Amino acid sequence: MVVVHFHIEQNQNDPGGAVVHIFRFHSDLIDEMWDIGQAIPEDSPNENGSF
């Protein structure tokens, strides 16, 4: 199983989004793939932001 976590931005002023891809392999081939994404809020209550 491989999990990849991305921070995607369209430009420098864009807060972007968080995207996760999860791959499950069988016999060296991708058997299943899941993904989920969420926009990063501009006014996050976390002082460190989403990342």
pLDDT at 48: 76
pTM of the predicted structure, to 2 decimals:
0.72
User: Mean pLDDT of residues grouped by 10 in the chain (51 residues)?
Assistant: 93 91 96 95 78 71
The per-residue pLDDT for 38 is 93
What pLDDT is recorded for position 43? 80
5: which residues sit within 8 A by CB, 6+ positions away?
Answer: 18, 19, 20
- Report the Cα 51 to chain-centroid distance in Å: 11
Q: What is the pLDDT of residue 46?
A: 79
